[in-house]
Amino acid sequence: MKKFVCYFRVSTQKQGFDGLGISSQKAAVKNYVRREDAEIIAEFTEVETGTRKRKRIEIYKAIDLAKKLGATLIVAKLDRLARDVEFTSALFNANVDFICCDNPTANKLTIQLLSVIAEHEAEVISTRIKSALAVKKERIKNGVTTNKDGSIMKPVNGTYRLGNPNGFGDYQKLGVQKIKELALTNKSNIQAMDVVCNARKQSLTLQQIANKLNELQYTTRNGKNFTPTQVHRLLTKCA
């Protein structure tokens, strides 16, 4: 009997495990599996918001399990997932059989083409956003503080900034320069600096230095483990 590993994804918590978004996807998958006289051996669900993207976790779990058990990965709809560069890339590189309920004839070539299109769309959107922000910054610089809806921007610490001032955290309100100053004077960073600079002299890589700091139980100013990116930032201050 053919085996399927299901992957579902919805954009908001409201559409999550008990919402209509996930229910419609499950219904489509179960109808397809029933027609194939097959069985579902596992289900993986990704829930995320459109404004808070994060690394996909469940899709890789689903792919790994499908590989391990020789099963077929099945998704309800390809049209929406096709705009997700990470999803299409993961699926194309996985070398596992897959089925899209709304497009059963889709194959690896389809996924590859969709991945290219998705990446292009992402680049276009990114460019458009950057251009819009540049125009907005220039308007603020020229003293224009009216939003497109007619509302007036609120200054934060006397400075007009992009974004919702009511949504700024304490560190964001301080401004980028102040955050950098706090990072330099933070006790945890100062203590780690000696280790970082000495380790670099020994030609250790950024990852090796990060591992060393974590093994010695050093933490960042936020109490988290060090990463190569954070090590690189400290290295720029070694001189």
pTM of the model: 0.51
Q: Mean of the per-residue pLDDT values for the chain?
A: 78
Provide the CATH number for the domain formed by 3-115 in this structure.
Answer: 3.40.50.1390
Phi-psi label, residue 49: left if phi above 0, alpha if psi -120 to 50, beta otherwise? beta
Residue 62 pLDDT exceeds 80: yes
Residue with tokens 């950024």, as numbered in its chain = 206
Residue whose tokens read 């230095």: 209
Task: List pLDDT tens digits, range 65-112.
Answer: 999 999 999 999 876 666 666 677 777 777 888 898 988 888 777 777
Residues carrying CATH 3.40.50.1390, the chain:
3-115
pLDDT at 48 > cutoff 60: yes
Query: pLDDT over 90 for what percent of the chain?
Result: 14
Q: What is the pLDDT of residue 13?
A: 53
Across the chain, which distance is largest between two alpha carbons, in Å? 69
Nearest to 158 by CA among 169, 139, 145, 148: 145
Cα 198 from Cα 202, distance rounded (Å): 7
> Hey, which residues does 42 pair with through a beta bridge?
5
pLDDT tens for each residue of 162-193: 766 665 565 555 555 555 565 556 666 667 77
